[in-house]
Amino acid sequence: MNEAVDKRIDLPTALAVLALVVAGLVSIYSATYDAGLSDIAAKQLVWAGLGLAGFTLASFLPFRLLQGISYPSYFLSLLLLFSVLVLGKTVSGSTSWFSIGTLRLQPSEIAKVTTCLALSAYIARSDVNLSSFRHLAVASAIVLLPVTFVMMQPDLGTAIIYLAMFLPVIYWGGATKFAMLVIVSPAVVAIAALFGTTAFLIAVIVLGILLYVTKEHRIVAAAVFSLTILVGVSVQFIYAGLKPYQQKRIATFLDPNADPLGAGYNVLQSKVAIGSGGFFGKGYLEGTQTQLRFIPEQWTDFIFCVPGEEFGFLGAATVLTLFLVLLLRGVRLGSTSKNPFGSVLAISVTSIFAAHVFINIGMSLGLLPVIGVPLPFLSYGGSALLANMTMVGILMNLFAHRKEY
């Protein structure tokens, strides 16, 4: 019995995720304890049950069937993303949800799972070589289609997660360093341009050196270099076209103290909450920043403040360690899976989790702009919890079949 479980279940991953889900429920209850919003914790508990069902289904679904439904499920999710723009409910300016009774379903979270499946199925094909521009373009299109629908909602944070997943996956799938440089350079130079002319010029010079060192595709390299400069120069025009709240988030990232009572309020209060926890924390339900609601809707994007304040450095480090276990086991699974589809899919799922953790913790610590990215398993959000539990179930499925070709 134990031997069968060991072969079927990756115990460290399962235990780490279980602990994170419990930590999430406990943190959400604390964040809503004195706010008269106890139904939020109850709803999350219901979604945890649904997530467990998704985990079980994904774990025991026949491996070949999992690969076989990759494309159909992907196109179905695209249909849902289109439908939500027409029939969905608008919340805080974003049309991202279907209302199902008292619950809300967010198709963009489900599409993360199906996009991982479809992208992995394509890259794993024996006739696909990501060093080919045509094949790389098809892989890019698989990701850019859902990103386009998500941006129309609009939901910048979720769109960034898709793109952040794409880079490590195509590198794992065999894309050349030159291709990676071509894809990454416009974004890097654009971000540098936000910090001023000096940073922009440094980024352009470094890019020019790297493109020259690659000694590949000189004409393409020259075109990429020119396009990247154009992107960097256009940043101010693009910035002017953003919505006011998006401009505030970028300005707050560059200088949180510029608007301490407005756009920078959440970031500053988040840093105060985490820093005030000390080593052991203030005790459960005793966090002043949490219980006095200094951080609005803390149970969503800033949930990391709860363990940081109430359980201190020890609590925050424990949460980060659990995520580290999940990520390391995911990478190890990708490295040991003998099936190409399983290998790429493990990295796809792990990259989704890594992007969420990196961006959310960065937001909470004021190291990254606030773009509305939840912390997996901890932040309130039923669709996200269902999707995340399903992806962990997929990892369990891949673990059980890691020795199959």
pLDDT for residue 47: 93
For residue range 223-248, what is the model confidence (pLDDT) as tens digits?
888 888 888 888 767 777 767 766 76
| 342 pLDDT more than 70 | yes
DSSP per-residue codes, 177-212: HHHHHHHHHHHHHHHHHHT-HHHHHHHHHHHHHHHH
Which of 255 and 68 is assigned the larger pLDDT?
68
| 365 pLDDT more than 80 | yes
Quote the tokens at residue 213: 């060192």
Q: Which of 96-100, 203-207, 381-385 has the lowest mean pLDDT?
A: 96-100
**In a 3-state reduction of DSSP, which class is residue 81?**
helix
pLDDT for residue 263: 52
Q: Which residue has the tokens 């959310």?
A: 360
Among 327, 326, 338, 329, residue whose Cα is nearest residue 402: 338
pLDDT for residue 93: 67
How far apart CA 159 and CA 16 sit, in angstroms, is 27
Q: Quote the radius of gyration of the chain (alpha carbons, Å).
A: 22
Q: What stretch of H or E contains 251? A: helix 244-254
Amino acid at 377: F
Partner residues linked to 89 by β-bridges: 97
Averaged pLDDT for residues 154-158: 83
| 376 pLDDT more than 80 | yes
Residue 250 banded pLDDT, cuts 50, 70, 90: low
Residue 83 banded pLDDT, cuts 50, 70, 90: very high
Partner residues linked to 95 by β-bridges: 90
| 291 pLDDT more than 70 | no
Arithmetic mean of pLDDT over the chain: 86
Averaged pLDDT for residues 179-201: 81
Among 49, 9, 5, 16, residue whose Cα is nearest residue 318: 16
Q: Which of 55-59, 278-282, 341-345 has the lowest mean pLDDT?
A: 278-282
Q: Structural domain boundaries of the chain?
A: 2-400
| 334 pLDDT more than 90 | yes
Among 273, 235, 241, residue whose Cα is nearest residue 254: 235
| 258 pLDDT more than 60 | no
Please give the angle made by the CA atoms of 71, 77 and 79, to the nearest 5 degrees.
Answer: 110
pLDDT for residue 301: 86
